[in-house]
Structure 1
Amino acid sequence: MRVLLLHGLAGGANVWDALLEHTVGSPHEVWTAELPWRAEGVPGWTGHSPAHWVRQATGRVPGGPDVVIAHSFGANALLALLDEEPEGGPAPRPRAVVLVSPFYRPRPEAFGWDAISYYLNDFDRILADGLRVRSGGRLPDDLRREMALKVRDRIGPYGWLSFFDTYLRTPDLRTDRMTMPCLIVGGERDFASFPADSEALCAALPYAKAEILPGCGHFAMTERAAEFARLTEDFLQSVA
């Protein structure tokens, strides 16, 4: 099967490196995308919707991906694409998806001013935790915070608004029509995308299963690489 990996906001294809180390010898054809919201940033990417960029990525996989594994903001961009109805009919869909730490709330009332404050004022703390995980904890706290602030500034207000607008629109997703098998993986200690988001999305999708990993944060594919590889391989085998 052809598998496409999509990273989250301020990430990159290297976020999957730990997972790929545990899948050496896999029979699957694995592709990774470098999306324009990656850490170094591509100016003007917010001129198109997140779904647009995922469509571009899936279109560059010869034959199209059978399974898409997407993390964080990348997972929400994928959900937005699956919800679209472009002119000329729906776009080809993957046979199955894996959503890692997606952002989701089932009702508009679930968003309050506190949510805006949290994701705006604590945005750099979320970015700093990503740097901690990817560096293996080798960065001193003060350096990590300084780097997180630089990444935050590179994302900028438009990038943040694109993320939060995508999150705000999740109650409107027509999840009942997303009938492909779906595996959702969340982390018990994830303070960016809370476990409740993963569980609520699982309940909203027709054929979904959620795995909340104990003691894990926002980057299950890095923090629990071996376990994540086993979960995804079992899922891919069931799909095959």
Structure 2
Amino acid sequence: MNTVTPRLRRPAAGTAAGPLRVLLLHGLGGRPSVWHPLIERAGEELELWDAELPWQAMSGSEGWGLNPDPARFLVELVDGRFDAVVAHSYAANLLTEATALGRIAPRPTVLVSPFYRSSVRDFDWSVISYYLNDFHRVFEEALEVGETGRFAKAHRDWMARRLRDQIGPYGWMRFFETYLRTPTLDLGAVRSPLLVLSGERDTAARPADGRALAAAVPGARFELLPGCGHFPMVELPDRTARLVEDFLRAAAVPTHPPLELS
């Protein structure tokens, strides 16, 4: 997959100021459908888009991990098209890095369950072992809270390992390299209005990661979601949609004309 094409998921209702065009980005081994609960609840002034990213579940594009610069997919996708971005997990990290490096122009951004460490000393062998040997547990959680929650646990566990194997060593390396670079990012240079959301019970991207990331970005806001894991938009869709909508309504300015639908 060389390019990613955004898809309109829900047009906005007519507003005097014009719609806010918002792009929703899923995480590693996820799918655009993870945003459906939020799309159903978001305010009508938001024009909502998503995209099938190369690292989506069962995409048949396992070779994306061979690309040393997966952030380029987001750079090509985001700039010049959207008033705001909401990104989950791995996509949140790629977006943060690209913004810190000036590859993506500032715009209101919501990061959901991002990975972050403020010091290189935070990465020791136990951290590497956890994210390597327990990598499948992130997918187990996704399968438990999503539409697949109706399946038996044994079947969900099998699916989680299939997802891990589909991503493979190269995809895992791209993920962990991005995580390892987080202490080196100049987050003080980020000028995007920023909201960071973390689940209190997230065992993949620790809530401490989200809190530290928000603290490093000037003016950023952090929200901890009690009783929630790695997928707030699925586990607490009403609360997550309200936080995203209120933040974007205050921070974003429409810059695009209403979409012409044929």
Distance 2:212 2:226 in 1: 18
Q: CA deviation at 1:57?
A: 1.9
Q: Percent same amino acid among aligned pairs?
A: 49
Distance 1:136 1:45 in 2: 25
Moved over 2 A (4+): none
Of 34, 49, 55, 2:52 maps to 34
Q: Which residue of 2 aligns with 1:69?
A: 86
CA contact (8 A) 2:75 2:104 kept: no
In the alignment, is residue 102 of structure 1 matched against residue 114 of structure 2? Answer: yes
Taking a change above 3 Å as real, the CA distance of residues 43 and 126 of structure 1, as seen in their structure-2 partners, is: closer
In the alignment, is residue 7 of structure 1 matched against residue 26 of structure 2? Answer: yes
Q: Which sections of structure 1, spanning at least 5 residues, go unmatched?
A: 85-89
CA contact (8 A) 1:72 1:102 kept: yes
In the alignment, is residue 22 of structure 1 matched against residue 34 of structure 2? Answer: no
Distance 1:68 1:30 in 2: 10
With structure 2 as the length reference, what TM-score do the two structures score?
0.85
CA contact (8 A) 1:3 1:29 kept: yes
Which one-letter code corresponds to 2:29 in the other structure? A
In the alignment, is residue 234 of structure 1 matched against residue 246 of structure 2? Answer: yes
Which one-letter code corresponds to 2:82 in the other structure? P
Of 214, 227, 233, 1:202 maps to 214
Aligned to 2:44, the other structure's residue is in SS state: coil
In the alignment, is residue 190 of structure 1 matched against residue 202 of structure 2? Answer: yes
In the alignment, is residue 83 of structure 1 matched against residue 103 of structure 2? Answer: no
Aligned to 1:44, the other structure's residue is in SS state: helix
Of 43, 53, 60, 2:73 maps to 53
CA contact (8 A) 1:184 1:210 kept: yes
Q: Deviations over 1:7-29 (max 9, x none)?
A: 00000111100111112x51122
CA contact (8 A) 2:112 2:197 kept: yes
Q: Which residue of 1 aligns with 2:8?
A: none
In the alignment, is residue 142 of structure 1 matched against residue 157 of structure 2? Answer: no
CA contact (8 A) 2:71 2:98 kept: yes
Aligned to 1:211, the other structure's residue is in SS state: strand
CA contact (8 A) 1:180 1:207 kept: no
Which one-letter code corresponds to 2:130 in the other structure? Y
Aligned to 2:176, the other structure's residue is in SS state: helix
Aligned to 2:202, the other structure's residue is in SS state: coil
Aligned to 1:9, the other structure's residue is in SS state: coil
Q: Which residue of 1 aligns with 2:228?
A: 216
Q: Which residue of 1 aligns with 2:169?
A: 157
Q: Deviations over 1:133-156 (max 9, x none)?
A: 112631211111111111111000
Aligned to 2:62, the other structure's residue is in SS state: coil
Which one-letter code corresponds to 2:58 in the other structure? E
Q: Which residue of 1 aligns with 2:184?
A: 172
Q: CA deviation at 1:50?
A: 2.3
Greater CA deviation, 91-100 or 74-83?
91-100
Aligned to 2:129, the other structure's residue is in SS state: helix
What CA RMSD, in Å, does the superposition of the two structures yield over aligned residues?
1.3
Distance 2:161 2:46 in 1: 38
Distance 1:16 1:56 in 2: 21
Taking a change above 3 Å as real, the CA distance of residues 215 and 116 of structure 1, as seen in their structure-2 partners, is: same
CA contact (8 A) 1:178 1:205 kept: yes
Q: CA deviation at 1:233?
A: 0.8
Give the number of equivalent residue pairs: 231
Aligned to 1:226, the other structure's residue is in SS state: helix
Greater CA deviation, 43-52 or 106-115?
43-52
Q: CA deviation at 1:91?
A: 4.1
Distance 1:91 1:190 in 2: 29
Q: CA deviation at 1:83?
A: 2.5
Q: CA deviation at 1:44?
A: 1.9
